């Protein structure tokens, strides 16, 4: 690649792609000063480019075929912002094979096909950058790869899905049920028409796959991430959690423990006094615990056109600075080359030891508490606190809520299966894991 102007090819002109064009135009002079060379958008492809409104694309060549961008001799760097797996995967692989650095915001693609793509990038000696793929505008990728590179990270806790955090915040602040808040969020464009990727925890699990590999230098396949969403969290769980002194958040958790790596996404009760409990609405935050640094927290806008475009262009600026005169992967995408990533045991969720919040809908009859507590006791689960409400007129069942001491997930699941079969218990019990040990 010749020094001088860096020529960019953009694929996808949706929320993020349009903002990239705007920000590049808006801050062109400042970016040139920072990189010492001009950045020029030479080609743009997007499916509905001729039918949907889009920002001014200046003199860029425009079209609808994304492969034309990858194959364009006037494109030095490919920016992939279409999302999804295909054709994004084929486009990224072809760009790398052709020696063109790639900038992408596509966490699904990297979580599911990371090994293939990172290894292809290393083989070609071409960088692939993905700051925008996790937590939008928060520079967490660069922080883990470079800022914290000298530390030994032990744990990471992230609020990395704005939709879930918005829903749980609204439920908590306004006392509304999950479905009501979800429908309102969809009406305002804050949740997708098909929200399952977000509310079932899949999007957070994609991000956690990347974060945990970066944080611990270990290989983490997406399939190893235990994933549970927020559909079953009810208003009463939020109120009881508060009585116990906790907030409920969808947390992406990664821990590097002596006997293996823990990677899981699930609703989690965290102390109300903790900093993460204060992260509200559509904001994201990642809390990292390292041996040398101790605790650090990274907070900001985790989505949206401009914050995400800012991260996309930060990658482009890094490329512009480092690619003058020559190619070459100076900093591997994950901080380590793929062959150097550790292969560590990934602990199944059944091996987890945690404290739990439990809620049963039980018939209000003498002996019910003793019966449930008996089953839990037989499975070595001891109860730290209980809340039992009086029955209101017309209620057949009452909520019986407990907080346990540290217990085995495997034993808890076995006990709950027995409790759920009791005629005095209605519906399925609810269990939420509790995390105490972070700021």
Q: Active-site residues: which are they? A: 207
Name the DSSP letter for residue 143: I
- Any contact of residue 303 with ligand NAP (CB under 6 A)? yes
Give the closest residue to 315 by CA, choosing from 74, 149, 145: 145
Nearer to ligand NAP, 207 or 403 (CB): 207
Smallest distance from ligand NAP to CB 322, Å: 23
- Any contact of residue 333 with ligand NAP (CB under 6 A)? no
Using CA atoms, how far apart are residues 33 and 21, in angstroms rounded to an integer?
A: 18
Instruction: Say if CB 220 and CB 346 are below 8 A apart.
Output: yes
- Any contact of residue 158 with ligand NAP (CB under 6 A)? no
Smallest distance from ligand NAP to CB 120, Å: 18
User: Which stretch, 43-51, 149-157, 329-337, 371-379, contacts ligand NAP (CB under 6 A)?
Assistant: 43-51
The per-residue DSSP string of 265-319 comes to EEEEEEETTSTGGG--TTEEEEEEEETTTEEEEEEEE-SSHHHHHHHHHHHHHHH
The binder of ligand NAP chosen from 6, 7, 8, 12 (CB under 6 A): 12
Element (H, E) at 368: helix 368-378
- Any contact of residue 47 with ligand NAP (CB under 6 A)? yes
Using CA atoms, how far apart are residues 363 and 382, in angstroms rounded to an integer?
A: 22
Smallest distance from ligand NAP to CB 136, Å: 5
User: x/- string (CB under 6 A) for ligand NAP, residues 80-99?
Assistant: -xxx---x------------
- Any contact of residue 204 with ligand NAP (CB under 6 A)? no
- Any contact of residue 332 with ligand NAP (CB under 6 A)? no
The binder of ligand NAP chosen from 39, 45, 78, 400 (CB under 6 A): 45
- Interface positions, 211-270, toward ligand NAP (CB under 6 A): none
Q: Which residues pair with 80 in a beta bridge?
A: 11, 104
Residue number with the smallest Cβ distance to ligand NAP: 14
Task: Record the tokens describing residue 150, joined without a space.
Answer: 């000298």
* Residues 6 or more apart in contact with residue 217 via CB below 8 angstroms: 334, 335, 336, 340, 341, 342
- Any contact of residue 129 with ligand NAP (CB under 6 A)? no
Nearer to ligand NAP, 81 or 319 (CB): 81
- Any contact of residue 38 with ligand NAP (CB under 6 A)? no
Smallest distance from ligand NAP to CB 51, Å: 8
**Tokens 């970016």 identify what position?**
31
Give the closest residue to 127 by CA, choosing from 357, 327, 313, 267: 327
What is the maximal distance between C-alpha atoms in the chain? Answer: 82
Using CA atoms, how far apart are residues 372 and 384, in angstroms rounded to an integer?
A: 14
The binder of ligand NAP chosen from 6, 8, 10, 16 (CB under 6 A): 16
Contact positions vs ligand NAP (CB under 6 A): 12-17, 45-48, 52, 66, 81-83, 87, 105-107, 132, 136, 303-304, 308
């Amino acid at each position: 690649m010749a020094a001088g102007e860096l020529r960019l090819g953009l694929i996808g002109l949706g929320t993020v792609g349009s903002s990239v064009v705007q920000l590049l135009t808006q801050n062109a002079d400042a970016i040139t000063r920072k990189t010492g060379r001009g950045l020029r958008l030479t080609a743009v492809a997007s499916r509905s480019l001729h039918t949907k409104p889009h920002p001014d694309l200046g003199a860029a060549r425009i079209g609808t075929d994304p492969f034309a961008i990858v194959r364009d001799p006037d494109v030095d760097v490919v920016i992939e912002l279409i999302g999804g797996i295909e054709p994004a995967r084929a486009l990224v692989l072809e760009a790398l094979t052709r020696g063109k650095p790639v900038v992408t915001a596509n966490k699904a693609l990297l979580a599911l096909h990371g090994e293939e793509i990172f290894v292809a990038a290393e083989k070609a000696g071409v960088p692939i950058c993905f700051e925008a793929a996790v937590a939008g505008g928060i520079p967490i990728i660069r922080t883990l790869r470079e800022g914290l590179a000298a530390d030994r990270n032990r744990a990471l806790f992230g609020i990395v899905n704005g939709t879930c955090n918005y829903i749980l915040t609204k439920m908590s602040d306004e006392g509304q049920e999950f479905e009501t808040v979800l429908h309102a969020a969809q009406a305002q464009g804050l949740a997708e028409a098909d929200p399952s990727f977000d509310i079932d925890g899949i999007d957070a699990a994609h991000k956690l796959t990347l974060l945990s590999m970066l944080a611990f230098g270990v290989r983490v396949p997406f399939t190893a991430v235990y994933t549970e969403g927020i559909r079953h969290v009810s208003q009463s769980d939020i109120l009881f959690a508060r009585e116990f002194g906790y907030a409920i958040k969808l947390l992406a958790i990664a821990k590097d423990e002596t006997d293996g790596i823990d990677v899981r996404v699930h609703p989690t009760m965290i102390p109300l006094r903790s900093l993460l409990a204060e992260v509200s609405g559509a904001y994201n935050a990642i809390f990292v615990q390292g041996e040398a640094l101790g605790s650090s927290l990274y907070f900001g806008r985790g989505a949206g056109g401009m914050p995400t475009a800012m991260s996309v262009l930060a990658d482009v600026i890094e490329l512009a600075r480092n690619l003058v005169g020559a190619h070459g992967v100076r900093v591997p995408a994950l901080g380590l080359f793929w062959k150097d990533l550790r292969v560590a045991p990934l602990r199944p969720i059944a091996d987890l030891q945690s404290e739990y919040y439990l809620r049963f809908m039980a018939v209000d009859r003498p002996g019910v508490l003793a019966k449930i507590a008996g089953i839990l006791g037989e499975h070595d689960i001891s109860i730290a606190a209980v809340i039992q409400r009086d029955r209101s007129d017309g209620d057949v069942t009452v909520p019986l809520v407990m907080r346990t001491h540290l217990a085995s997930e495997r034993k808890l699941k076995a006990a709950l299966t027995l409790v759920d079969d009791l005629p005095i218990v209605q519906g399925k019990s609810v269990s939420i894991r509790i995390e105490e040990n972070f700021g």
